[in-house]
Structures are given as C-alpha cells and as structure tokens.
Amino acid sequence: MSVTKLQRKRHKPTPGSEPKLEPPVERLSDKPIGIWKTAFKKFMSNPFAVVGLVVLLFFIIIALFARVIAPFDPAAIDLINANLPAGSEKHLFGTDELGRDVLSRLIYSSQVSLLVGFSVAIITVVIGSLIGAVSGYFGGWIDTFFMRLVDVMYSVPTLFLNILVLSIFGSKFSYMIFIMASTSWMGTARLVRGNFLQLREMQYVEAAKAIGVSSWGIIGRHLLRNTTAPIIVSATLMVGGAILAESALSYLGLGVQAPETSWGLMLSSAQEFMLVDPLQAIYPGLCILIVVLAVNFIGDGIRDAFDPSKKVRIPRRRLQEWRKNFSKSGI
Amino acid sequence: MAEKLLEIRNLTSGFVTEQGIAKATDRITLSVEKGKTLCIVGESGSGKSVASLSIMRLVDYAGGAIFEGSIGFSGEELASMSQKEMIRIRGNRIAMIFQDPMSALNPVFSVGDQIAESLRLHRGVSRKEAWRQAVDMLRMVGIPDPELRAKQYPHELSGGMRQRVVIAMALICKPELLIADEPTTALDVTVQAQILDLLQRLQQELGMAIVLITHDMGVAAEMADRIAVMYAGKIVEEGTVGEIFDHPSHPYTIGLLKSIPGLEGARGEELYTIPGTIPGINQLPSGCRFHPRCAKAEEKCRQAEPLLREFRPDHQAACWLYDSGGGLGGDDKESEVKRA
Amino acid sequence: MTEYLIRRILQSVLVLFLVSIITFVLIHAAPGGPTQVFLSPGLSQEAAQIQAKNLGLDQPIPVQYMRWMGSLLQGDLGHTFKNNLPVGEILWPTMQNTLILMSVAWLFSLLIAIPWGIYNSTVEYGLSDQTASFISYLGFAMPTFWFGILLQELFALELDLLPLSDMYTMGKEGQIGDLFMHLILPVTVLTLGFLASYVKFSRSSMLEVLNQDYIRTARSKGMKEKRVIYRHALRNAMIPIVTILGSDLAILVSGAAITENVFNWPGMGRLFVEMALAREYSVLMAITLITAVIVIIGNLLADILYALIDPRVQLARKGGASA
C-alpha cells in the first residue's frame, strides 16, 4: 500500500518536488546550498554560458572604463575629418558624417545598452515578482484585479505603448527605462504567481503558518526564495530584450538623443549614409548582436543549470557511437 | 514438459550513460510456457520494467539498448531482430499493458479508434469490421454499454475503465503473449482485484501466456504459475509459485513475503520492511548485490557473486546459503569474483 | 458554449474599455498638449488657447473622454488635428498595407517553421536541428532593423537586385510583380524573427508529446515510426501550436512597426510612429484600440480552436480566471 502511494507520487511531475518528501521542519528556514553549488558547477561546464559570461564581463569593463579607454570624446564634431574610412590613422573604425570617432562612440554606447538592459530587467523583476507574489499568495479579488491588469497590458502591443509615451512625454532616459519596465513586468508576474499557487499548498508553508509566521514573512522567506531560480532566468533573458528594445527606440529617434550616443542611434544615422560608408552600419549592429547573444547564452545556461532534468550534456554523437558499439539491437 | 513460448537467455540490457554502460538487467535467464503466467517480482529499480521493454524491443526507444543475450519467441530471435520485422510481432503476437492507464491512452482519439487501430494494422480488416470487433472486445473486458463507450475519449472514463480499455487494446489481436507491467498499481484496491480477475478469465479464454511484472507478492500469489524474483538487475530466485511460497529461500524473497500485509504480518506485529534501499545501477556493491541489506550476510557474500543454481526441483536461487560448492576460487567454475 | 462565449465577450469589452481609458489618460496627461507640436511656432498664447478651445482640448479629461467615446460608439473615429481628415480614411489603407506584408511573412514562416520544427524533434541535435537552433539564437539576438539595413546594403545597393524601400516603384502602383519585388526584403527580415520562435516552439511541443506514455503505447501496438509520429504525436503537438498562433494573431497588425520604418513601408506601424511624433491623438487612440481588439479576438479564437482540437477541453466548464 505504502509502496503504491510512493510510486504514484513519483509519477507526478512536480517542479521542486524534493522538498515534499523531507520533513517540514528542516525546510522551514533554509534552502539547501547544494542546489546552488550543483547549479554553479553545471553552469561552468556549459561552454556557451561561460563564453557568454566572459563576453558580457568584457563589455561591462569597457562600459565602466569608457572614459579611459575611448580615444576621443564621442560627441566631438570634426567636420574636416568626416567620413574617414576604417583603419585611418588615429581613427581605427573611421569617423561618421560629423567626424566623430566611431570607436569612441561604440565604446560609450555600451554604457547606454548595459545600463538600460540591467536597470529595466531589475525593475521589471521587482515589479513582476511583487505583483505575482501578492496575487498568488492572497488570491481572491487581489488576484483577479492584477490578472485583469495583466490582460489589459497584454492587449496593447508593448512597442506601441513605448512609442506613445516617449513621443508624448519626451525622450528622457529615465522615462525610457520606466516605460520599458512598466510594459514588460507581466511575464514575470504570471510566472511568480503560478509558482506561488503551487508552492503555497506545500507542507512547509502550512507549517510556517501554524507557528505564526506573518504573510509577508512567508512570501519573502519561503516562497520567493523557492522561486529564485526561475526569476533569475527570466531576468537574464529580459536584459537582452531590453537592450534590443532600447536600440529599436533609439533607431526610431525616440530613445537616446543626439549628444548622447547609443548603438541604435548610430545605426539610424548609418542608414542615412549607407551609400557613403556602408561599413558604419556593421559595427553597432554587431555590438548589439554580440551582447544580446552573450546575455541569452548566460540565461539559457542558468536555466539549464537549475533544471534537474537536464544532466550534463553528452554529445549525442558520442552516445550514438557507444550504442552502436555495445548494442546488438537498435532503432 | 509443456512447450516454451518465450525463452530469454543471458539478457543484458540497459542504458549507455556518461559513466559507461548501466546494466538494468544483468544476464537474466527466464522462460514462459504456452498459456502460463510468469510473475517477475521486485522493488522499483530492480530492472523488471527494462526487462519487459527489452522483450518488446521498446527499450531502444527509451534511450536504452540490448547489449547481450537472446530472446527466443516461438522459434524467432527477437534480440537481434530489426525494428522493421519487430513491428509485425509487436501488438500482434506479443502485446503489452503499461502501468498507468491515465497516461497510456492517446487523449485525442476515441477509445474505439485506438482499439481498432491494432486490428487495422495487423489484420488489414475494414474500418467497419475493426470497429465492430473493437466494440465486441470492449464488451469482453466487461465495459457496459460498449457501443457508446467506444465513441468516447479517454478522459471521459474512470481509471478502472481505462485500464480495461488498455487491456482490450492489447488483446484485440489475440496475442500469444501478454506482458503486463504493474497493470494494477495505479488503481484502487477494489478495482485491482477486478482487473486481475479479468486478466485470468481472458487468459483462459484466449489461451495466452502472461508475463506479469509486479512489486506485490500478493498479486504474484494470485496470478503466477512461476515466479522470478529480481533484485538490482539480477534474478535472485526462481521457481513455481508453490515452491516460492512454501520454501522461500533467498533472504530477499523472504523479506518480500514478510512485508505482505495480512500474510506474515497478520499476527498484530508491525509490518516488516527490508532495511535499506535498492542500489542504483551505477553503484552496485561488490559480491552479492543484496548483501548490504541482508541479515545473514557473511564474508563470502561481500566478495563473490553467487549464481542461480537449482537446489530443489523447479526451484533455483542465487545465494551462498544454498550454494554448497566452494566459495571463492572453489570448484564452482561459474561463480565470478567481482572485479573490484 | 454560447454562455462561455457571452462571458468572454463581456470580459473582452471590459478589457477594451480599460485599454481605452488608460491610453486616453496617458495621451492627454502629456505636458504641453498637441497644440504645441502642430501649430506654427509664432502663434501667440492667446491664439493657441482659442485653437485648443475649438478642438475641445480645454475641457477636463473625463469630459473629453466621454465625448470621444460618444462619437466612437457612433462609428466615428474622429478627425486629425492637422487638415481635419477623418481618421478612418488615413487608417484603412495603411492597415491594408500592413496586412499584405504581415500575412505574407507570417504564412511563409509558418509553412517553413512548423514542419521544420516537427522534423527536428525526430532528429534531435542533427545538422538540421543545429541549423535551426543557430537561426533561432540569431533571430532572438539580432536587432530586426539592423538585419534590414544589412539586407538593403547587400541586395539593393551592392548587388542592385531588389528595390531599397517602399511598397511600389513610382509609377508602378498596384502592379503585383513590383509589389512582390518590394516584399522580398521585409518579408525576409520578418521571417527570421518568426522562424526563431516558431521552429523552437513546434520542436519542443513535439518533443514533449514524444515523451508521453501514449506514444510508447502506440509503439507497443506495432506500427511504423512514421505513423507513431505523424498520427499519434502530431495531433497532440498541434494543440499548443495552434493555441499560440491564435494569441499571436495581433502581430499581423502590430508586429511590423520597426520593419516598416526600415523599409519605408506605408503601413500602420510607420503611421503610428509618425502620428505619435505629430501628436495626432485620435489616430493613436484608433490604432491602439484596433490592435487591442485584434489581440482579444486572437485569444478568443485560440480558446475556441483549443476546444475544437482537444477533446479534453470543454469551453463551458473552463472558469473565468485567465491564467
């Protein structure tokens, strides 16, 4: 009888199912460190993720030390030396139509992209987790209210809302971050809510309630902590999305404005001067592509690292070779 | 002696992993006679399901493979047969029932369609005829109002009903051999008994042999002609149902019998459980695989692996207690010393 | 079924209502108002106020909203501030242009993506699968407008094979052949984005089905692997795919905004940017509402399709919660 029960349980795919089997008391305060350790190990054994991390760190360092690294002031106009080709003396990547040094502009642009990417991701995750946590934990009319709000937000295309706000309120940097964050929290909110709905039925939450832990204590200490991994993953993937959105808005002329510089803005002017210097359109786009790829690789790496069903990957070909060597059957 | 329908010899199958080959079954030898029932008993993780998937050659699709040994099925060799040929046999002459009827049926086809499909595949009968026979089969497995039920989808039926559908689906082509992998484990106790009765009745009507996989000695007692007890990929005891229950020999078998509620434990004492857990196929202990959990383990058990030997007629066990031959390096040429 | 539909439609009306309020307030709360943008800079404060009064912009926002709602209910989307053109007259042609571009791109990508993803699920990590995964990484990380610019540089400027931008060459308006040539580059750009998500999605939903117990059951019945995949697995895998397509329906009108700007395609996305900069409130309101309506119809359609292909789902029983 008891065997039957256990087996039946095993067949239900419950995310984070191992806490269920442990006695509730042990689970009250701490998440086992083991999860983080193995996740870290798995992450570091994923070559894509590691390369992504290195590339991202490289761009972060460039952004932090832009002032030191950049050979020129990115906004310094020098009409005599306009449209110099790449490889010119002093100007490694040439100059643009106003004689500004392209390399310096590329370097300074990394500040904008990373700042927007990370701040939008952080704000989004904070708003999303809060709303998701509150809806998922309390349920009832609070849940209904927020989920209707999610419906409403989802029914207007994000890009349109961003364009609308930036064109009407003006293209301030802070506005841009604010509107991007306030149009992208819904995914995280749904994710956290879904997780909470599952988690709040668990024994250790019952136990915490029974010994009188307050609602916010339960949300913060027990539930959010058990939702950390998916939140981190969605935050990482959001960084890439925000960088792309910033570049698109700047390209449309609604994001970063003239004396400042951004990869999207550079592409916008590069398109105008496409005939004169087609190479100018390559560099900024390549920068965006590389940074976003790096961030996405990291995000995928983290997701796989926390996914218990994903073992350390063995190349399929090796497996097939093994099977061919050993097996007398086969498909 | 009756004719052997299925003869498995030295079957080793399992999975290729990073650490190398993980043998879920390790040179097991079994046979089933026509019309008889063999029960393979063991805890989960003992390799009994992989054994059944190997006979069906479905282990290939589960990411595993057969590494060694032969599976003879009325004159044909299944272990090295191509999947193309295997299609002829699967579902036609050998059929299989799986553990969980909730997930074993395709949710988007009506149960009638799913039963009739096997007939259309193997007998090439017309759609109408297949449907008629499917309805008959539903009636045969005890489903009331089969004409209506055939048109329903799996989610509209209860668990017990679904398992009946699964049985109907397996038996529609009147197979010579039915492999049932824990057919009652996922069901309520009252339904379990009904399903077992049904299987026995159908076995008599159709004259098929059954390989029944279970962890429950009680089920085995009710159904089996012969019982094979499996532990960590090895068969540790094998014999007729009478022999196994009257003279259980291997400490593991004795443990399994003791833990049946209502048999040994009926005298008011607490239900017996075998201490410890079954080892994973990657962390097998040296010597006899059961020794870490065995109360009677001796030094020899830790060092050398015992082989199955017949110590009574129709009854064999793999345990040093019944192996009168020499121990380590003795005259038992077959006993293998585990390469530590 | 009807009861469910009625409830859903009522819910949708509520959502639309909220969308309209939020957008309206957002637009009208802007500092400065529209007059600053489109009036000539030399206009005196007084003249500007008279202008605003004529347009009803001096009224409190709730009153303006009620007025706007009133005329909307009579089928009037309003007029532009500049030239006093009826909004519909500007909107419908651009919407048509967007629909032409997007439906070609969408159908084209679906025709490639779904079979490709399904095929890849059966040859996991093979060459075709690796290629698809490479494309989807590119598609997710590459700025669409940059891809567009690169294509323009290569195929329009360097090789001179295809037109650089616009929908028709001047003087060839309405000719299908010319339209086709103009479609190639923007459709390519959009296709990359669609492929990135749809190939991945159909592959993973197929893989999920292939791991189900009933697939093992199907194999145990003794059928060719092809039949297992295309009869038993495919139909189950199509359930999530069709659902996601329904809820993606709105990209048909909103998904091309950036691409339209790159290729100067006279569609709704470009119109939206243009009108946002010109603060043409009524056009912005109209476009926002239309897209919201399409989003909602798409979701409703997805639910209905879901119920049609999945016998387990009965619309009437499904609750109001839309999680």
Mutate to test the interface with A, among B9, B15, B16, B71 (most CBs of A within 10 A): B16
Q: What are phi and psi of C168, to 5 degrees?
A: -135, 155
Please give the Cα distance from C113 to C197 (Å, whole number).
9
Contact C217 B108 (CB under 8 A): no
pLDDT over 60 at A32, yes or no: no
Contact B118 C221 (CB under 8 A): yes
Taking only the tens place, the pLDDT of each residue in B70-112 is: 899 988 898 888 888 889 999 999 999 988 888 899 998 999 9
Backbone dihedral region of B319: left (phi > 0), alpha (psi from -120 to 50 degrees) or beta?
Answer: beta
Please give the Cα distance from A120 to A244 (Å, whole number).
12
Instruction: Give the residue from A284, A234, A291 showing the smallest Cα distance to A256.
Output: A284
Which tops the pLDDT comparison, A29 or A73?
Answer: A73
Count of C-beta atoms within a 10 Å radius of residue A131:
24
Report, as an integer, the average pLDDT of A71-87.
Answer: 74
Tell me the nearest-neighbour CA distance from A209 into chain C, angstroms: 26
Taking only the tens place, the pLDDT of each residue in C277-302 is: 888 888 888 898 888 888 888 888 88
pLDDT over 60 at A313, yes or no: no
Tell me the nearest-neighbour CA distance from B90 into chain C, angstroms: 5
Q: What is the pLDDT of residue B267?
A: 53
Give B-chain residues touching C241 at CB under 8 angstroms.
none
Contact B169 C235 (CB under 8 A): no
pLDDT over 70 at A330, yes or no: no
Alpha helices in chain A (DSSP H): 2-10, 18-21, 24-27, 33-44, 47-64, 66-69, 102-138, 140-154, 158-169, 173-182, 186-199, 203-210, 215-217, 225-226, 228-251, 263-272, 282-306, 316-326
**Residues whose CB falls within 8 Å of the CB of residue A268, separated by 6 or more in sequence, listed in order:** A250, A251, A252, A253
Taking only the tens place, the pLDDT of each residue in A60-71 is: 999 898 888 877
**Residues whose CB falls within 8 Å of the CB of residue C56, separated by 6 or more in sequence, listed in order:** C64, C67
Token pair recorded at residue B85: 């040929």
Please give the Cα distance from B110 to B149 (Å, whole number).
9
- Residue pair B305/B335 in contact (Cβ under 8 Å)? The answer is yes
Which tops the pLDDT comparison, C85 or A263?
Answer: A263
Instruction: Give the residue from A156, A158, A191 showing the smallest Cα distance to A176.
Output: A158
Count of C-beta atoms within a 10 Å radius of residue B94:
28
Please give the Cα distance from B265 to A263 (Å, whole number).
77
Contact C23 A156 (CB under 8 A): yes
**Residues whose CB falls within 8 Å of the CB of residue C214, separated by 6 or more in sequence, listed in order:** B103, B104, B105, B106, B107, C232
Q: What is the pLDDT of residue C35?
A: 58
Instruction: Give the residue from A112, A94, A104, A113 showing the smallest Cα distance to A73.
Output: A104
Residue A286 confidence class, pLDDT cut points 50, 70, 90:
very high
Q: What is the pLDDT of residue A28?
A: 38
pLDDT over 80 at C31, yes or no: no
- Mean pLDDT is highest, among A212-226, A264-278, B138-152, C164-178, for B138-152
Instruction: Give the residue from C158, C245, C171 showing the smallest Cα distance to C201.
Output: C245
Q: What is the pLDDT of residue A78?
A: 73
Eight-class DSSP state of A224:
I
Tell me the nearest-neighbour CA distance from C215 into chain B, angstroms: 8
H or E stretch at B7: strand B4-17
Report, as an integer, the average pLDDT of A218-231.
Answer: 78
pLDDT over 90 at B38, yes or no: yes
- Residue pair B157/B149 in contact (Cβ under 8 Å)? The answer is yes
Provide the residue ranges of all domains of chain A, joining segments of one domain with +. 35-70+97-308
Q: What is the pLDDT of residue C208?
A: 87
Contact A323 B65 (CB under 8 A): yes
H or E stretch at C21: helix C2-28
Comparing A192-206, B47-61, B182-196, the range with the smallest average pLDDT is: A192-206
Secondary structure (3-state) at B38: strand
Q: Which of B100, B107, B169 sits opposite C312 (nearest CB)?
A: B107
Give B-chain residues touching A326 at CB under 8 angstroms.
16, 21, 65, 67
The percent of residues in chain B predicted with pLDDT above 70, rounded, is 91
Q: What is the pLDDT of residue A312?
A: 46
Contact B98 C219 (CB under 8 A): no
Residue A127 confidence class, pLDDT cut points 50, 70, 90:
very high
pLDDT over 90 at C218, yes or no: yes
Tell me the nearest-neighbour CA distance from B154 into chain A, angstroms: 19
Neighbour subunits, B (≥3 Cβ pairs < 8 A): A, C
Give C-chain residues touching B58 at CB under 8 angstroms.
216, 219-220
Q: What is the pLDDT of residue C109?
A: 92
Tell me the nearest-neighbour CA distance from B69 into chain A, angstroms: 9
Neighbour subunits, A (≥3 Cβ pairs < 8 A): B, C
- Residue pair B98/C213 in contact (Cβ under 8 Å)? The answer is yes
pLDDT over 60 at C199, yes or no: yes
Q: What is the pLDDT of residue A9?
A: 34
Please give the Cα distance from C43 to C36 (Å, whole number).
10
Q: What is the pLDDT of residue A320?
A: 55
Q: What is the pLDDT of residue B115?
A: 93
Please give the Cα distance from A285 to A106 (Å, whole number).
10
Secondary structure (3-state) at C248: coil
Assign domain A35-70+97-308 one CATH number from 3.40.50.1980, 1.10.3720.10, 1.10.10.10, 3.10.129.10.
1.10.3720.10
The packing angle between helices C144-151 and A228-251, to 10°, is 40
Report, as an integer, the average pLDDT of C64-72.
Answer: 83
**Mean pLDDT of all residues belonging to chain B:** 85
Q: Which of B43, B61, B67 sits opposite A327 (nearest CB)?
A: B67
Please give the Cα distance from B139 to B151 (Å, whole number).
14
Chain B interface includes C310 (CB < 8 A): yes
pLDDT over 70 at C322, yes or no: no
- Residue pair B115/B147 in contact (Cβ under 8 Å)? The answer is no
Comparing A182-186, A201-205, B161-165, C103-107, the range with the smallest average pLDDT is: A201-205
The packing angle between helices A228-251 and A158-169, to 10°, is 60
Q: What is the pLDDT of residue B169?
A: 92
| Cross-sheet strand order for the sheet of B226-231 | B94-97, B177-181, B209-214, B37-41, B226-231, B234-240, B315-317, B309-312
Q: What is the pLDDT of residue A12?
A: 36
Report, as an integer, the average pLDDT of C77-88.
Answer: 79
Taking only the tens place, the pLDDT of each residue in C135-179 is: 989 988 999 899 999 998 888 888 888 888 888 888 777 788 888
In sign, the C-alpha dihedral spanning B226, B229, B235, B238 is negative
| Cross-sheet strand order for the sheet of B4-17 | B20-33, B4-17, B64-73, B76-77
- Residue pair C186/C166 in contact (Cβ under 8 Å)? The answer is no
Cα A64–Cα A245–Cα C146 angle in degrees, nearest 5: 95
Tell me the nearest-neighbour CA distance from C306 into chain B, angstroms: 12
Taking only the tens place, the pLDDT of each residue in B266-313 is: 455 566 788 888 887 777 888 888 888 888 888 888 888 888 888 888
In sign, the C-alpha dihedral spanning A67, A68, A69, A74 is positive
Burial class (CB in 10 A: 0-12, 13-18, 19+), C93: middle
Which tops the pLDDT comparison, C16 or C51?
Answer: C16
Exposure string of A252-276, with b = 16+ CB inside 10 Å and e = fewer, is bbbbbeeebbbbbbbbbbbbeebee
Please give the Cα distance from B335 to A106 (Å, whole number).
73
Contact B60 A8 (CB under 8 A): no
Q: Which domains, ranges and CATH numbers included, belong to chain B?
A: 1-93+179-186+207-261+271-340 (3.40.50.300)
In sign, the C-alpha dihedral spanning C53, C55, C60, C63 is positive
